[in-house]
Structure 1
Amino acid sequence: MKILIVSWEYPPVVVGGLGRHVHHLATELAAAGHEVVVLSRRPSGTDASTHPTVTHISEGVLVVAVAEDPAHFVFGEDMLAWTLAMGHAMVRAGMALHKPGVGEGWQPDVVHAHDWLVAHPAIALAEFYDVPLVSTLHATEAGRHSGWISGRINRQVHSVEWWLANESDSLITCSASMQEEVTELYGPTLPPITVIRNGIDVTTWNFRERGPRSGPPKLLFVGRLEYEKGVQDAIAALPRIRRSHPGTTLAIAGEGTQFTWLYQQARTHRVARAVDFLGNLDHTELLSWLHGADAIVLPSRYEPFGIIALEAAAAGTPLITSTAGGLGEAVVDGVTGMSFQPGDIAGLTSAVREVLDDPAGAQERAVAARARLTSDFDWHQVAEETAHVYAGAKRRVRQPLARPQIPERPLPGR
């Protein structure tokens, strides 16, 4: 098949897990013999004079990295305007693929959108080429904000997500919990939804068994420093953990808007000296920290999937996770890791103590987690299942859509 993937991040422009996901999916599809074009962008804050649009082939994928237009928008200050401008530039680049001398009349069989930020170009290009639109919804605005969609920008983003979901001909979510969330938020006239879990390349995460501990226990968190990631719960649990396991430290890898607040939380709980904020880590640094930690703690309040749980398991790091969303599906409590309810500080503390008190049991669960990865989360299988969705997607008859009714209060159960 000829596949046009539209994503606001793709290496070397990577913001989070979405960029890595799209990269692995695209290269695996190309390896399977499909003709893949990825439409992405140049780094934020650049323009066509310093960072012009470039087209190159990387790992069998034709990557079109689109330059920013000269209009002055800053993502952190003008998010919706910046997103619309990016989409406009992507539409022009995507349509150019059809021109002789540019794409030599290339036309996709399907357009695959990844998240709301590319809703406008993906919808426009699927209409221009008159082909099915498949969309992967990696997260939702409501989920990211515990069900609240009351802010002006929250409502705008939610409406774009709703529009993308209802304009698509097929939808993909990374977990059953996300499938339920999307159905609740954007139904009832949605296209078919297929659950395809995120994948992992285990060859890049060499497994290391734990030897006898030397020194105080070391816990690790990896992720964005945002409220929904629950880092504050790990910090709140640390004084309790240190009472039974003196000297325990918590290393926090990642960046985000809540850094200052989280730093203050460490001071409030009087564990500032035991908490180390590492910032973003490259692959080699992250692997070193994973190998050196007694366990990784992922206390998410909201988590569509949680790719870091797979990466940690592949590296042999014992897993301690909340049951939020995809984490509850990826980690089998007592078998491939230890779990607790989101926001349950006592449960988090208990799970950590069990791992630290029984290193042999933690090692057994780590081995089981690694074994499960090779069968359930293989990228070859992910690409195969995605291609099956492409093949089954049919362009629906379009009907005019009214604006959605947007809830201003938390959704039921949140």
Structure 2
Amino acid sequence: MVPASGSPRRVLMTADAVGGVWDYALELAGGLARRGVRVTLAAMGPAPSPAQRARAIAIPGLGLHLGEFKLEWMERPEDDLAAAGEWLLDLAERVAPDLVHLNGYAHAALPWERPVVAVAHSCVLSWWQAVHGCPAPADWRPYADRVAAGLAAADRVVAPTRAMLDALETHYGPVPHGRVIWNGRDGGTWHPRPDREPTVISVGRIWDEAKNIRALDRVAAELDWPVVVAGSRRHPDGRSPGGGAMPANLRLLGHLRPDELADWYGRAAVFALPARYEPFGLSILEAALSGCALVLGDVPSLRELWTGAAVFVPPDDPAALARELRRMAADPPRLRALATAARQRARSYGTERMVARYLDVYADLLDAPRSIPLHRESAAVPLER
């Protein structure tokens, strides 16, 4: 398919393979490929697994380039960020993209000479505030300065929820060129199974305090249903969670392939994630599409997305979490009603809708006159609703 008028023919996109950004990037790249847009994917951070790499190169027209540079939120990343910037600019010179789509902040300040979209999947300052209840230490000031500079330099800033966009403005100042575009997942990939099991599933990096997997560990022993958790056990720098202590009451599934995870989602009755911080949550969306009832942390972003289709619990109230999980297990009609509501809501967060919104943003930037800095054009950027 040939791209529509005003759409890019080639996009340079960055990503990392640490968390959900990889899945998001491949979902968007696949949707863009169906619209005739070729994506060059520059993956930084720890190298993607063979399975992650195979999924990427299966996308028609996608060119995958790997650079094992530290990510901007890692310890002492300055030298790596500078080297990665040179690598990215050289890559842009070779592939000549019409537009640059950054799933990060710092590199938006590079001299790209083409429109730049920066996507705010999360950030350390809002993560720290949500997890620790206080501002991030002064050690994070260089990171904050890099993020602020990137946000100011980007021609558009996209966030997956209004709550995440608000967090950027709280911590880094006004983002007049911001827009909300919901993440999406292909509803044809995730399916409920008829033989659902009395099981609670969660997905999240055990080392990430924002996911709050340890709250599930604290209550799992009180439940009649088993609790299984899929996700990485170790921090990207090699540390174990909690100084080496592993959850005692959960069945840890480790990192699963997409087909394995889809099977678990389709079998489990409940998906629980009492998150303290979750700007969107692709795992929640996948579980909802698979027919799981949802028990989620009561945080603004998840309220924004799932009000009326989930049960919310205070992240730091294990008693409330245990009570809601026991209540679901004891009330099958309510469980089925919540699962149906979650699946119906999840269908509104589709891949094609996400792709169309990004193409709108791309077209606006490509049609804009380059004689004026694009990010100063207008503060009146509509939000998706």
TM-score past 0.5 threshold: yes
Aligned to 2:179: 194
* Equivalences, count: 347
Match of 1:142 among 125, 128, 135: 125
Within the candidate set 73, 78, 100, 1:111 is matched to: 100
Out of 332, 335, 344, which is 1:371 matched to? 344
Equivalent residue, structure 2, for 1:61: 61
Change (3 A) 1:45 1:290: closer
Q: CA deviation at 1:311?
A: 0.4
Structure 1 position 314, deviation (Å) = 1.2
For the aligned residue pairs, the C-alpha RMSD in angstroms reads 2.9
Q: What is the identity percentage for the equivalent residue pairs of Structure 1 and Structure 2?
A: 25
What is the CA distance between 1:354 and its match in structure 2? 1.9
Q: Is the 8 A contact 1:68 1:89 kept in 2?
A: no
Corresponding residue for residue 234 of structure 1 = 216
Aligned with 1:382 (options 313, 335, 354): 354
Matched residue type, 1:4: V
Tell me the amino acid that sits aligned with residue 187 of structure 2: V
**Cα displacement (A) at 1:309:** 0.6
Aligned-partner SS, 2:316 = coil
SS state at 2:179 partner? strand
| TM-score, L = length of structure 1 | 0.75
CA distance in structure 1 between the aligned counterparts of 2:75 and 2:159, rounded to whole angstroms: 29
For the residue of structure 1 that corresponds to 2:188, the secondary structure is helix
Quick one: distance in 1 between partners of 2:109 and 2:88? Answer: 11
**CA 1:346–1:297 in 2, change beyond 3 Å: closer, same or farther?**
same
AA in 1 matched with 2:346: L
Q: Give the gaps of 5 or more residues in structure 2.
A: 1-6, 49-55, 376-385
Alpha-carbon offset, residue 92 of structure 1:
1.1
Identify the structure with bigger relative contact order (alpha carbons < 8 Å, sequence gap 6+). 2
Answer yes or no: is the 8 Å Cα contact 1:209–1:363 preserved in 2. Answer: no
Looking at CA atoms only, which structure, 1 or 2, has the larger radius of gyration? Answer: 1
Aligned equivalents of 1:292, 1:201: Cα separation in 2: 19
Residues in 2 aligned to 1:321 and 1:262: alpha-carbon distance in whole angstroms: 26
> Does the Cα contact within 8 Å between 2:161 and 2:181 map onto a contact in 1?
yes
SS in 1 for 2:11: strand
The one-letter amino acid paired with 1:201 is: D
1:7 corresponds to which of 14, 37, 40 = 14
1:160 alignment partner in structure 2: 146
Instruction: Tell me by how many angstroms 1:199 deviates.
Output: 0.2
User: Residue by residue, what CA displacement relative to the aligned partner does 1:90-142 show, whole Å, maximum 9, x if unpaired?
Assistant: 22111123xxxxxxxx451x3221113xx32x442xx343x322211110111
Residues 137, 171 of structure 1: 8 Å contact kept: yes
**1:15-414 correspondence to structure 2 within 5 Å:** 15-33=18-36, 35-41=37-43, 44=46, 58-67=58-67, 78-97=76-95, 106-108=96-98, 110-116=99-105, 119-120=106-107, 122-124=108-110, 127-129=111-113, 131-146=114-129, 147-152=134-139, 154-188=140-174, 190-209=175-194, 211=196, 217-225=198-206, 226-239=208-221, 241-242=222-223, 245=224, 248-255=225-232, 256-257=234-235, 259-261=240-242, 264=245, 266=247, 272=248, 274-332=249-307, 335-374=308-347, 376-393=348-365, 394=368, 396-397=372-373
Q: Which amino acid aligns with 2:373?
A: V
8 Å CA contact 1:21, 1:198 repeated in 2: yes
Residues in 1 aligned to 2:243 and 2:273: alpha-carbon distance in whole angstroms:
15
| 1:389 shift after superposition | 1.5
Give the 3 Å change call, closer, same or farther, for CA 252–39 of structure 1 in structure 2: closer
Residue 18 of structure 2 contacts residue 46 of structure 2 at CA under 8 Å; is this kept in 1?
no
